[in-house]
Structure 1
Amino acid sequence: MEKLSKIGRYEFLAEPFHCDFSNHLFMGHLGNHLLNAADFHSNDRGYGMNYLNTVNKTWVLSRLAIEVMDMPKAYDKFFVETWVDSALRSFTSRNFKIVGESGHVYGYGKSVWAMIDLDTRHPADILAVRGGLITEYIETEYPCPIEKSSRVKLLVGATPIRSIDTYYNDVDINGHINSVKYIEHVLDLWDVAWYKQHCIKRFEIAYVAESHQGDRLHFYREGRDSDTDFNVRITKSNRDSAEVEVCRCRVQFV
């Protein structure tokens, strides 16, 4: 296999019906573009899901942080650059840069991924895949100047905001609730009036457990040090179980 560059660069379009009332790309759709870029990058280099599925493994997202200065507008073309900056046995970290045609930087992302066995759903050894091929593509010099995800701690008294059911459109290629669907559901905790006054500056999410179609998701929210900084906790339940934590988020607005 031909050795490719360590940094991938993929073109996307801010399609008008992927934009909100302000004519800017939804954060959820930006998240989808980042994950697609990660998939393209890993597949092109031989350690993506196209290969992993043949050996009964897949990638799952563990953490994601997106920080933006602004968002692409409808019909804007932009690029997502992505690269792996570390790889260990259980986890690998991947960075993103969102940049316009003119070179304008919209923002950056940082993510952590795990590889799991499709049968056991337990972690698999990343470095055992194709003789540790991923280590040949580690890039540590290209800057990604945002902080890693913080540790989100929620108080016992966090306010329950909403509970929702999950359906077909929530489920992704791995058979569980799609990573970006959580982002969309969390951002729906604020109404249009709020977004007319505030823009998302940073979104962080840490995935704790899988949930599946039919699970009911429960959302808890609390303020942090300012009135534009929030923690959100998501739990799941079904007919046979009590609430179990699924993920934790932090949302910062300006």
Structure 2
Amino acid sequence: MYAFDSRVRFSEADHHETITLPGIINYFQDCSIFHSEDIGLGIDYLKEKKRAWVLTSWQIIVDRYPRIGEKIKVGTWATEFNGLYGHRNFCMWDEKGERAACANSIWAFMDLERGRPAKPLPEDIEKYGTEAPLEMEYASRKIRLPEELEEGTAFPVRKYHIDTNEHVNNCQYVQMALETLREEMLVRKVRVEYKRSAVLGDMICPRTAREEERTVVELCNAEGKPYAVVELTGEKRC
């Protein structure tokens, strides 16, 4: 396992004085980047090979949201490499060693020149190793869409949405989905299914359905083809 210690910053918290959901996701993303950089398989390595690990799905469970100033530990490890795909777990613990959040993720290894998946070579994955999967309830990668979704107001992809791959960052899709909620939600479970990458200047057209146990947000392009589908499960936040 690769891990680092941190502390919940003021800039990562909301008006409840606790870390936000995007704050947790960003810690997980950062942890995976730090892992790759520290073993020599980071951004520059992939850029030189014209390759990238592209996230295809998230499953995140939040047990509780740590407070401002609280000391935390964030860890990640690869659990499996299978053909074109890599599987990775994440966990966030508090100062007492109790779990605050965890996640499972599936990544596709992409040939950026051809714009299609490619099988990673042994040197692309051997340094990661693999460890036993986290004990959690694993959900399907595919998210069931409700029969009817309500059309929302379209908006453009902004510069602050873009990451080092010149695409909308994975966490930004979750933030976009949260912005569609009519009421503030204490999210306990998140699933995201990534379909295609949005880039600067693209229009995002949200379509939302609110069911008893979940809210589903489909983030589409102008032609109605989805970039990502986000499922949020939780309760109204007081």
When the two structures are superposed, what TM-score results if normalisation uses the length of structure 1? Answer: 0.86
Name the CA distance, whole Å, in 2 between partners of 1:203 and 1:150.
11
Deviation sequence 1:36-89 (CA, Å, 0-9, x none)? 101111222333333222211111111111111111111112111111111012
Question: What letter matches 1:83 in structure 2?
Answer: W
Equivalent position to 1:235, from 217, 220, 232: 220
**1:149 Cα offset (Å):** 4.2
Could you say which residue in structure 2 is the equivalent of 1:76?
A: 70
Name the CA distance, whole Å, in 2 between partners of 1:97 and 1:23.
21
1:168 and 2:168 are equivalent in the alignment:
no
Question: What letter matches 2:38 in structure 1?
Answer: D
Question: Which runs of structure 2 are paired with 1:128-207 in the superposition (5 Å)?
Answer: 128-130=121-123, 132-134=125-127, 137-140=129-132, 143-191=134-182, 194-195=183-184, 198-207=185-194
Equivalent position to 2:3, from 9, 14, 18: 9
Deviation sequence 1:195-248 (CA, Å, 0-9, x none)? 2xx411011101001111111101111133x2x4111111012xxxx2321111
Alpha carbons 2:57, 2:141 under 8 Å: kept: no
Segments ≥4 residues shifted beyond 6 Å? none
Alpha carbons 1:58, 1:115 under 8 Å: kept: yes
RMSD, matched Cα:
1.8
Name the CA distance, whole Å, in 2 between partners of 1:16 and 1:131.
37
Could you say which residue in structure 1 is the equivalent of 2:81?
A: 87
Could you say which residue in structure 2 is the equivalent of 1:209?
A: 196
User: The residue matched to 1:243 in structure 2 has which SS?
Assistant: coil
Deviation sequence 1:152-187 (CA, Å, 0-9, x none)? 122442111231111111111001111111111101
Change (3 A) 1:82 1:57: same
Query: How many residue pairs were aligned?
Result: 235
User: The residue matched to 2:117 in structure 1 has which SS?
Assistant: coil
Could you say which residue in structure 2 is the equivalent of 1:35?
A: 29
Could you say which residue in structure 1 is the equivalent of 2:232?
A: 251
Alpha carbons 1:14, 1:73 under 8 Å: kept: yes
Change (3 A) 1:43 1:21: same
Could you say which residue in structure 1 is the equivalent of 2:61?
A: 67
Structure 1 alignment gaps of length 5 or more: 1-6
Name the CA distance, whole Å, in 2 between partners of 1:101 and 1:186.
30
User: The residue matched to 2:32 in structure 1 has which SS?
Assistant: helix
When the two structures are superposed, what TM-score results if normalisation uses the length of structure 2? Answer: 0.92
Task: Provide the identity percentage.
Answer: 19
